[in-house]
Amino acid sequence: MGSLDDTNFTSDSPILNEFKPLDPEEFRKQAYQTVDFIVDYYKNIEKYPVLSQVEPGYLRNHLPNTAPNEPEPFESILKDVQKEIIPGMTNWLSPNFFAFFPATVSTAAFMGEMLCTSFNSVGFNWLASPAATELEIVVMDWLAAMLKLPKSFMFSGSGGGVIQGTTSEAILCTLVAARDRALERIGEDNIGKLVVYGSDQTHSTFAKACKIAGILSCNVRSLHTTTDTYFSLSPTFVRATIEADVAAGFVPIYLCLTVGTTSSNAVDPIDQFADMASSHGIWLHVDAAYAGSACICPEFRHYLDGVERADSLSLSPHKWFLTYLDCCCLWVKNPSLLVRALSTNPEYLKNKPSESNSVVDYKDWQVGTGRKFRSLRLWLVLRSYGVVNLQSHIRSDVQMAKMFEGFARADPRFEIVVPRRFALVCFRLNPNADSEPSSIELMNRKLLDWVNSTGRLYMTHSIVGGVYMLRFAVGATLTEDSHVIAAWKLIKEGADALLAG
């Protein structure tokens, strides 16, 4: 790889005269080369360590200090991707990736992303890209219907949906709308009285959104959960906390429920919180980032019971719906509250369709102004696979998780820490029930470190109710039964060596 050398630069350089950043035939050639490269990566992905084995700073030592002055052959660049970049990748698409929650992909979504990127549409308002706006409206209603959401969340009813980047953005946007609704009533000087609620299992995104929205950290209630409710929020406890805050002069404005928490897949019972939220004027948001996708299957739909009483719902198809990062679907019951909180109207964006109030301008439904044509990905996934294949995909992952759960239950040295929901198994090595909690934790930390150090699979951990546990999340697109079986054999091998030592 070359490096920048100012002494070689001349204003009449022939490179500048011949520069064509988008030559169609060169694009065709390099695109074919890139697709071949990607296909080979997918075919050979099991040959790479799942968790990258490089040391911090490795890449800076391998690359030049400055950008090249002269153009370099595309073939050389691809060779360096293979040689320098892939070793530093934690391979989320590996079939042996069982960490966090999966980031799923598919051929259809990749084709959608190619189209999205090729158009480079910046659809901040309807006029900037009518197709981008209207397709998003269509697919958000399609997915809402698949989830059996009420008409109050659909454009065909009185609500509507928008594709955000991540859950972080969805929570922030709805929180700002809830904040402004409250401040219109009590006055902006009283922002210090606003109180919001989530559980101690709510994603850390919530605390970050509160900070950005100006909610005082001391007014963010992280409510304790217990094993009695399998780490779901207790309606009785939440009601008591809200009533105590009201008595103390605070103004409750937002309650974030979760369907499928990150640590253990706990589910907060939506229908049991609707009345208390309504009676106190609290915005009720449902974060179903991971598990919401499963609710297209009738056997899982009951986890959304009561959602018709919520103000908003978000789920992330990039987690379990084969749609590539980033794609978070947010539905709101009252879009005008979102628009009122987030809209801007500079002169240079004014136009007749927007001023007629007959179109949707998605810049007013999100934090930023510019936005990608994300709906193309979701549209291609829905059309290419249909509901039946997407349901089959979800069910297959759940069955593999059940299989792994069976392995862990059958080995007396292991235990299931919380009941399995969806495709996440939370377990730990605990061969002696009389062992001290600290020694059990240390044992499991060592087991996790050993398993991940092999590069043959990747898991992560969490702590719930003070218990350190291992998380086995099934769902990478390429994962099959054989990978789950091999993963269990490796975990057993690690446990054998640990206990023998």
Query: pLDDT tens, 160-191?
Result: 999 999 999 999 999 999 999 999 999 999 99
Architecture of the domain whose range is 24-91:
Up-down Bundle (1.20)
pLDDT of residue 14: 52
110-384 matches 24-91 in CATH topology: no
Which pair of structure tokens corresponds to residue 436? 């001290």
Average pLDDT for 88-101 = 96
Share of residues in the chain with pLDDT > 90 (%):
93
Q: Strand order of the sheet with strand 467-473? A: 414-416, 424-429, 467-473, 460-464
- CATH top-level class for 110-384? alpha beta
In the block, tokens 């392995």 appear at 407
Domain spans of the chain? 24-91, 110-384
Q: How far apart are CA 21 and CA 1, in angstroms?
A: 20
Does 12 have pLDDT greater than 80? no
pLDDT for 501: 81
Average pLDDT over residues 418-432: 96
Instruction: Express each pLDDT in 360-417 by its tens digit.
Output: 999 999 999 999 999 999 999 999 999 999 999 999 999 999 999 999 999 999 999 9
Q: According to the model, what pLDDT value does residue 16 have?
A: 56
Which pLDDT band, with edges at 50, 70 and 90, does 122 fall under? very high
Bridge partner list, 259? 267
CB 424 within 8 A of CB 460: no
pTM, 2 dp: 0.93
Helix (H, G, I), strand (E, B) or coil at 185: helix
- Measured CA to CA, the distance from residue 239 to residue 278 in angstroms comes to 12
371 φ/ψ sector (left φ>0, alpha ψ -120 to 50, else beta): beta
Q: Per-residue pLDDT averaged across 250-263, rounded?
A: 97
Local confidence band at 17 (pLDDT 50, 70, 90 cut-offs): low
pLDDT tens across 273-304, in order? 999 999 999 999 999 999 999 999 999 999 99
